[in-house]
Structure 1
Amino acid sequence: MCLIALAVHAIPGQSLVVLANRDEFVARESAVADWWEDRPDTLGGRDLVAGGSWLAIRRDGRFAAVTNVRQGRPGSGEKSRGELVTSFLASDLSPAAYARELKDLAPAYAPFNLVFGHANELLVFHSPTRELNRLTRGVHGISNGRPDAPWPKTRRLGEHLTGLSRLPSQDTLFEWLSDTEEAGIHELPNTGVGTARERFLSPVCIQGADYATRASTVVAVDTRGRVSFCEQPWHAGRPLGRRPFTFTLESRP
């Protein structure tokens, strides 16, 4: 996952709205979003190489999503960052307790941001600094730097989500996630990968032969506990058929 925008109690009638793009090497195999056979209460895509996920939600509203943190050199962690999503969703630890574990587990993974918690209250952990923060009411953007860093792509999505009087149509939300406009050179972050690579990675939706946006996801949880989850896979720069799911939040037994 490389881009997440979240409206936290910021749109009337909605507890949480998430717009996310997963950017990945085209050759890396993955499964489209569905209810998991091994964990039937969990919905999301799956990485078929390491078995993790980039974004998923449980029927009770427990939620997690991960982005990598770009530092200009390959990460040194031994484990796949997607395991962080699956391990949190498989656990019933409180978010605070899981955060304490994260601080010890972080060195085993290449640098990451993890958004986790419940749809009504989320935390974000930035592993390079071991910094933990609650996502306050408002609009937040997380990409491959620090949470809420004003990168062009996070700023563009955040501006779309700001000041809304109602939730836009799904077509509009996916249109925002399909934005392929590159940032100007003066707007680019410096993460050590060079100007050409920074610019290639700067759009909301990346289109490349070997590395590209592989899936766009929209999650909306309204104030009555109704969840709308829709994934739009991408292939060769073209959006494929959307995969919509709806359910109502349940209490854990």
Structure 2
Amino acid sequence: MCLIVLAHRCSQRYPLALVANRDEFHARPTAAAAFWPEHPQVLAGRDLQAGGTWLGVTRGGRLAAITNFRDPSRTAPAPRSRGELTLDFLTGSLSPGDYIAQIETRFADYAGFNLLLGAGDELWYASNAGGGARRLDPGFYGLSNALLDTPWPKVETARRQLRQVLEQPLDHDALAGTLADRQQARESELALQGLEGEMERKFSAQFIVDPVYGTRACTSLWRDAQGTLHWREQAFAADGGAAGCVEQRLAPALS
């Protein structure tokens, strides 16, 4: 997954709103979002190559999402898959802060990552690429393949759009629309962030269309004032056309 924007405790009507595009090689085998038979509380897509997930939630209100950190200086394969971090948190019971403290000793076992973990009213961010770990204050956040809130053009645009969308009653189409722009950034915009070259231009679009590597799914979710979680995963084919949709509503867990 390469682009996430979210609103954390910015609205009484919607304590959480998040939309995420997963960019991946089209050849990498993937299962659509579903409740996992071996973990029936977990709703997530599944990476069939490594076994983990890039984004998931639970019936009990846990949330986990991960993006890779692009670092040309670190290209060697890592011993462990980043997708296991999200799955371990979703299937566990530790608070986000305690879970991060537990895994910090093995950060070096993974390729560069950005990790978002939520439970209840808490939302935490952690990175093994120099971003450290911290509990997030209420606010609007954007995350791609650099550290949290790095002002890449597609991140800044999406965050502004999310502010506007949150002013109206939410629906999945409006939320997903904040990450639907297929236009590449101008070279002058990329240069401000030290980005250049054909690959950087291709990846500068919010929604990437490419026969080899591109946006394969957009997940939109929000929690309303009653505690119900609204979820939709829209899959896409290599040509950018819609290719299947999964929609769920998770009622708040009983205390």
TM interval, shorter chain, is over 0.9
Q: CA deviation at 1:167?
A: 3.5
Match of 1:207 among 206, 209, 212: 209
What runs of 5+ residues in structure 1 fail to find an aligned partner? none
C-alpha spacing 1:108/1:54, structure 2 compared with 1 (3 Å): same
- Report SS of the residue matched to 2:15: strand
Deviates more, 1:24-33 or 1:181-190: 181-190
Alignment of 1:1-253 (within 5 A): 1-73=1-73, 74-118=75-119, 120-129=121-130, 131-163=132-164, 164-188=166-190, 189-190=193-194, 195-236=197-238, 237-251=240-254
Q: CA deviation at 1:241?
A: 3.1
| Separation (CA, whole Å) in 2 of partners of 1:119 and 1:82 | 22
C-alpha spacing 1:205/1:75, structure 2 compared with 1 (3 Å): farther
C-alpha spacing 1:24/1:14, structure 2 compared with 1 (3 Å): same
C-alpha spacing 1:119/1:21, structure 2 compared with 1 (3 Å): farther
Deviates more, 1:71-80 or 1:221-230: 71-80
C-alpha spacing 1:239/1:184, structure 2 compared with 1 (3 Å): same
Deviates more, 1:128-137 or 1:46-55: 128-137
Q: CA deviation at 1:130?
A: 5.4
Deviation beyond 4 Å, 4+ runs, structure 1: none
C-alpha spacing 1:175/1:94, structure 2 compared with 1 (3 Å): closer
| Separation (CA, whole Å) in 1 of partners of 2:211 and 2:92 | 37
State the Cα deviation string for residues 16-74 of structure 1 (Å, max 9, x = none): 00100000011000000111111000001000000000000011111100000001242
Deviates more, 1:98-107 or 1:170-179: 170-179
Q: Identity over the aligned pairs, expressed in percent? A: 37
Q: CA deviation at 1:238?
A: 0.8
State the Cα deviation string for residues 79-119 of structure 1 (Å, max 9, x = none): 11111110111211121211112211210000000000215
Deviates more, 1:90-99 or 1:167-176: 167-176
The alignment of Structure 1 onto Structure 2 pairs a total of residues equal to 250
Contact 1:15 1:119 in 2 (8 A): no
TM-score norm. by structure 2 comes to 0.93
Query: Residue 62 of structure 2 aligns to which amino acid in structure 1?
Result: R
C-alpha spacing 1:55/1:142, structure 2 compared with 1 (3 Å): same
Query: Residue 159 of structure 1 aligns to which amino acid in structure 2?
Result: R
RMSD: 1.6
| Separation (CA, whole Å) in 2 of partners of 1:157 and 1:82 | 24
Deviates more, 1:131-140 or 1:22-31: 131-140
Deviates more, 1:124-133 or 1:182-191: 182-191
C-alpha spacing 1:11/1:82, structure 2 compared with 1 (3 Å): same
Contact 2:162 2:175 in 1 (8 A): no
What runs of 5+ residues in structure 2 fail to find an aligned partner? none
| Separation (CA, whole Å) in 2 of partners of 1:20 and 1:140 | 12
TM-score norm. by structure 1 comes to 0.94
Q: CA deviation at 1:184?
A: 0.9
Contact 1:11 1:167 in 2 (8 A): no
| Separation (CA, whole Å) in 2 of partners of 1:230 and 1:41 | 17
Query: Residue 154 of structure 1 aligns to which amino acid in structure 2?
Result: V
Contact 2:4 2:20 in 1 (8 A): yes
Q: CA deviation at 1:178?
A: 2.0
Q: CA deviation at 1:251?
A: 4.6
